[in-house]
Chains A and B, each alone.
Chain A
Amino acid sequence: MGGATSQYFGTFSESWSNPNVVPSVLDKPKHDPLFGFQNERETREIKASQDDLYWAKIPASRRDYCADHLIEFQRCRKQNYPFLSKCEHIKHEWDHCQNEDTILRMKEFERERRLLKREERKRLREEAVIQ
């Protein structure tokens, strides 16, 4: 992710000095998601169906793992418009889901970074042995 709250100075300085260990923001992760896990990982599912997303007119950028909470929020908003303060608790649930999703993505970024660092260390060790 490269977000400033995660690692202010680390990724910034490393992106210039050692770009091999900084995960790309634009591309997908290079490592297998199951690498290092003995048992299968918990699969994430989008609880809202494509039909629900279509009829609720959820934009493409918001069709993620928290879309079911968003649909509930939009429903509450429609029922209580313009008194939107009544939907604050549902909005908080959506915000909480998004926050947990962000933390998960930050952890995935950190995992990718540590795997890249591990590869870099192995590569340097092999080069030292050859020399």
Chain B
Amino acid sequence: MTSFYNHLMWFTFLFTSFCFSLLMSFYISYMNQALYVSINMFSLWNNEMSVSFYLDYMSSWFSTIILLISSVIMVYSYFYMAPYSKSVYFLWLTNLFIFSMLMVVNMSNLFFLMLGWDGLGLVSFFLIVYYQNQSSITSGMFTLLMNRLGDSFFLLTIALFFYTYPDLTMFSSNLTDFLSLTLLLLTFMTKSAIYPFSPWLPLAMAAPTPISALVHSSTLVTAGLYLMMRFSYLLYSSYTLMQLLLILSLFTSFYAGMNSIFEKDLKKMIALSTLSHLGFIGMAFSSGLLHLAFFHMLTHALFKSLLFMTMGDIMINLNHSQDIRYLSSGMLYTPMSCMVMYVSILNLLGLPNLSGYFSKDLVLEMMNYSSSSILVMLVLFMNVFFTYYYTYQLFFYSFQPIKVLPYQNFHSPMLGHTLCLFIMAISTLLFGFFFLSHICSLTLFYPVPLVNKSLPLFINLIMFLHLFLNTKLFTSNSPMLNYYFSNMMFLSNLMLTLSSNLYYNLSFMLVKSLEFGVLNYSLNSYPKMMFTHLSSYVLNLSTLNPMKSVLFMSSFMVLLSVLI
């Protein structure tokens, strides 16, 4: 069992780093400067390979948010994972993930950025398969394959960059041809689950709830969008790609919104909400609202991770039942967690003077001044309508008549656990109001007509009244509709079949031709003994200690990538 002191130690370290990062962010915003640190590792054939960090307002503010969420998760995960964590394996995986994420955020050299990027995908796989059951392994494999697809696009992009600019430094590489930009965009779309690369995100909810709060709401999924913003100096040169991104992002939001209405699994519903917001951020970015998209990414990270944490609290009391229809029972036993959940829900709804209002509603207003047509605005407001619908469903399900499950496990709240939630709740409440002018100092806020200004609030009120007066909450009588939307429009089935069939067929072909064919014949001597000895060593390593195998595999991959 991991001791509380391990978690507390990591919390202290991460929270101290958060405080330092916050001061750094204030300083960089005040000075309006960026810090570029480059350490030359080695030179190879006239090309210098250097570890370079670029600390500007974007990387410093995002690092601050990541460190805040990570530090809170450290304490939260102790209380949540206490019955399940038998070693420091979980702790090390989480820290490895945080390290990879900070690498992606702060690195300027494309090669080392790729290491962090690959690390994110690899570590998230190990975190998803933590529970080691059938569903988590299926989800983990699918997530890994999706992430590897993105990694392959990234490798191709780096190859193209290296051919023209061997430096591989972010801002010196000025490749604006259509192929490079398309590959770059595809890379970021896979990680950020923009359609058609969306299905992995709801499937990744097989991971433990602290991991969903850290990884699948605020860090891993926003890594793609963050790098999109970093590479905006290249991506904005292609109007066609930005139009394509706008359409795909809008459809991602629409897709997630439609599916979340029919979803009855709590975690999947919040995952679809995250997907909807990722589409929203992608749409804002593609319309030219770079700073507002970045600001919304930060506020969304805060209130979504808070929502996951409070959901985890409620789910513990329901014996880990994830059905939304039992939410009211959870509220009976954890009213405080529910109250904190309402803080997150109110931010999702974008009520005035909360963080969600300053980020989301501002984007909705500024979209009036984009060069998009009325159709974009209609789809956008339809997505907003869906957001209000599923958010109010969460709200009203918590007030339904109590449905008590048998074998309920009452979990008394502890001081440390409560403090985590309060820290996050206060950060969520105050961040938007106090930090908008720090982060978006050069953003233009045009005045909009009263109709446009009040439309989101009007839709909000209509939705509230509709669900308040309608005692029978939304259920469709059409089994066809339910079947179609509950299965995410069968996109995950399609992609699983396509990717896994190809993968399995290829691997069977390789096994038949190599292992049972050529290799079997040629290695039937001393090299065979050497290989069997090596394979048995790897097998022993993997069965002895999971952490050792993780370290071995990671170092092996690093070595491979360096050699390549």
List 9 tightest A-B contacts by C-beta distance, closest first.
A25-B371, A81-B30, A12-B374, A5-B368, A84-B437, A12-B373, A2-B371, A8-B374, A4-B377
A118 to B26, CA, bound (A): 55
0 or 1 for each of B203-241: is its CB under 8 Å from A? (1 = yes): 000000000000000000000000000000000000100
- For the complex, is A20 an interface residue (Cβ under 8 Å from B)? no
Contact status A5-B369, CB under 8 Å? yes
User: In whole Å, how far is A84's beta carbon from the nearest beta carbon of chain B?
Assistant: 5
- For the complex, is A77 an interface residue (Cβ under 8 Å from B)? yes
A1 to B369, CA, bound (A): 8
- For the complex, is A59 an interface residue (Cβ under 8 Å from B)? yes
Contact status A5-B30, CB under 8 Å? no
- Most chain B CB within 10 A, of A5, A12, A57, is at A5
Residues of B contacting A82 in the complex (Cβ-Cβ under 8 angstroms): 26, 30, 438
Contact status A57-B32, CB under 8 Å? yes
Residues of B400-455 at the interface with A, using a CB-CB cut-off of 8 Å, are: 437-438, 441-442, 444-449, 452
Residues of A1-35 at the interface with B, using a CB-CB cut-off of 8 Å, are: 1-5, 8-9, 11-12, 15, 25-26
User: Which of A57, A77, A99 contacts B447 (CB under 8 A)?
Assistant: A99
0 or 1 for each of B369-405: is its CB under 8 Å from A? (1 = yes): 1111111110000000000000000000000000000
- For the complex, is A120 an interface residue (Cβ under 8 Å from B)? no
User: Which of A70, A77, A98 contacts B446 (CB under 8 A)?
Assistant: A98
- For A85, the closest partner residue in chain B by CB is B437
A78 to B33, CA, bound (A): 12
Interface size on B, residues (CB 8 A): 28
- For A94, the closest partner residue in chain B by CB is B444
- For B443, the closest partner residue in chain A by CB is A62
- For the complex, is A95 an interface residue (Cβ under 8 Å from B)? yes
- Known pairs A2-B371, A12-B374, A62-B442; list 11 more (Cβ under 8 Å): A2-B372, A3-B368, A4-B368, A4-B370, A4-B373, A4-B376, A11-B373, A74-B32, A81-B29, A82-B30, A82-B438
Contact status A77-B441, CB under 8 Å? yes
From known contacts A12-B375, A26-B239, A74-B32, infer whether A5 and B448 are also in contact, taking CB-CB under 8 Å: yes
A8 to B319, CA, bound (A): 52
0 or 1 for each of A68-93: is its CB under 8 Å from B? (1 = yes): 00100010011001101000000000
- For A15, the closest partner residue in chain B by CB is B373
- For B377, the closest partner residue in chain A by CB is A4
0 or 1 for each of B345-387: is its CB under 8 Å from A? (1 = yes): 0000000000000000000000111111111110000000000
User: In whole Å, how far is A57's beta carbon from the nearest beta carbon of chain B?
Assistant: 6
From known contacts A3-B368, A74-B32, A82-B438, infer whether A99 and B446 are also in contact, taking CB-CB under 8 Å: yes
User: In whole Å, how far is B282's beta carbon from the nearest beta carbon of chain A?
Assistant: 19
Contact status A95-B370, CB under 8 Å? no
Contact status A98-B444, CB under 8 Å? yes
A15 to B376, CA, bound (A): 14
- For A96, the closest partner residue in chain B by CB is B447
User: In whole Å, how far is B361's beta carbon from the nearest beta carbon of chain A?
Assistant: 16
Residues of B532-548 at the interface with A, using a CB-CB cut-off of 8 Å, are: none
Residues of A contacting B373 in the complex (Cβ-Cβ under 8 angstroms): 2, 4, 11-12, 15
From known contacts A82-B438, A99-B447, infer whether A4 and B372 are also in contact, taking CB-CB under 8 Å: yes
Residues of A contacting B441 in the complex (Cβ-Cβ under 8 angstroms): 74, 77
A78 to B29, CA, bound (A): 10
Contact status A78-B448, CB under 8 Å? no
User: In whole Å, how far is A44's beta carbon from the nearest beta carbon of chain B?
Assistant: 18
Residues of A contacting B442 in the complex (Cβ-Cβ under 8 angstroms): 59, 62, 70
A77 to B438, CA, bound (A): 10
Residues of A contacting B32 in the complex (Cβ-Cβ under 8 angstroms): 57, 74, 78
Residues of B contacting A15 in the complex (Cβ-Cβ under 8 angstroms): 373
A4 to B378, CA, bound (A): 11
From known contacts A3-B369, A84-B437, infer whether A95 and B445 are also in contact, taking CB-CB under 8 Å: yes
A57 to B30, CA, bound (A): 13
Residues of B contacting A84 in the complex (Cβ-Cβ under 8 angstroms): 437-438
Contact status A3-B448, CB under 8 Å? no
Residues of A contacting B376 in the complex (Cβ-Cβ under 8 angstroms): 4
- For B451, the closest partner residue in chain A by CB is A5
